[in-house]
Chain A
């Protein structure tokens, strides 16, 4: 335990005492770096739990400012933050929880020109974005960089979570291409149950922490579904698709694609 400060031994005592995590797992967390894309509902829960767990470096990518309508679910931000960049407000909350975390903010929309650079230098990526173009972009960028991606998404009362380990299957094996513009309502049009973001984001944080510590069984090859209204969890298989345009046997996608933005607020 000599490589921990007294403060760290106390702060992380409840993790260190878990046999599976232990001092070795806590050291891995302190040495780990995670990029969280989206400082919204999912990203809030992810960022706060990863900060609390002592993840050494947390990247926070978001290009929006805090809006009053966000506060029903985006617990990283407070009323006093309305109008401020989410990355700034998010970084403050992370460091208020744990001053030991080095927060790297990316105050830009990710696209084909900057996504590969954005994910480089992080051990894993957590997708808490709110639109399809970013989801496909992150999937493709992480697959091409062989980087684990913990994907979560919410709509109204329903959430989906899965983990991609940097190989196959990928998000495109699950959903080969995004819906056409205008065919799917977004959260602003359809609403979203606030606490659902916490449930799904917390499962994403759990997956990230497990991957870093190397414990348990990651949600690779399965999509976990949660229906908050019916309080029902369900799991379906994510199968490797030989015809996948990204990771299949004759891939067509060799570089990142910018899809038309159709699910923005």
Chain B
């Protein structure tokens, strides 16, 4: 079961957990499972067309899924998933 790193802005939804387990073999599965576990999660990550929002990146290991297979990117065994939104504070 892949471990998903949750960024600070989304931790309100995950009861302040920085890392959660999610079921699925692709990022799409993971997002759906996170929505089941934490209602409201998907809307923070995806737009109304179901595409990843342009200021939220998802990485499998070190790699940005936009340069892999997008939401259909498979998650290799033991690889972790990181969700990283753009932040602007200074």
Contact = CB atoms under 8 A, between A and B. Distances in A.
A130 B88 contact: yes
A2 interface: no
B36 interface: no
A155 B62 CA distance: 21
Q: Which A-B residue pairs are the 3 nearest by beta carbons?
A: A155-B87, A130-B90, A187-B89
A105 interface: no
A234 B80 CA distance: 11
Contact of A177 (B18, B55, B57, B90): B55
Interface of A: 38, 40-43, 127-132, 135, 152-158, 160, 174-179, 184-187, 190, 192, 197, 222-223, 225, 227, 229-230, 232, 234-239, 241, 263
A89 to B, nearest CB: 16
Contact of A186 (B5, B7, B54, B89): B89
A186 B9 CA distance: 10
A132 B54 CA distance: 13
Given A175-B54, A178-B55, A153 B89 contact: yes
Given A156-B8, A227-B18, A237-B64, A40 B88 contact: no
A109 B55 CA distance: 24
Interface string B50-90: 00011101010011101100000000000000101111111
Contacts of A192: 89
Given A155-B9, A179-B53, A185-B9, A236 B84 contact: yes
Given A155-B88, A235-B62, A237-B62, 6 more contacts: A42-B90, A130-B89, A130-B90, A155-B9, A155-B89, A186-B89
Contacts of A43: 90
Nearest to A234: B82
Contact of B9 (A131, A184, A225, A236): A184
Given A157-B8, A175-B57, A236-B64, A186 B90 contact: no
Given A157-B8, A178-B55, A235-B62, A41 B90 contact: yes
15 contacts: A43-B90, A129-B90, A135-B88, A153-B89, A155-B8, A156-B8, A158-B87, A179-B86, A184-B88, A186-B89, A192-B89, A223-B84, A237-B64, A238-B64, A239-B66
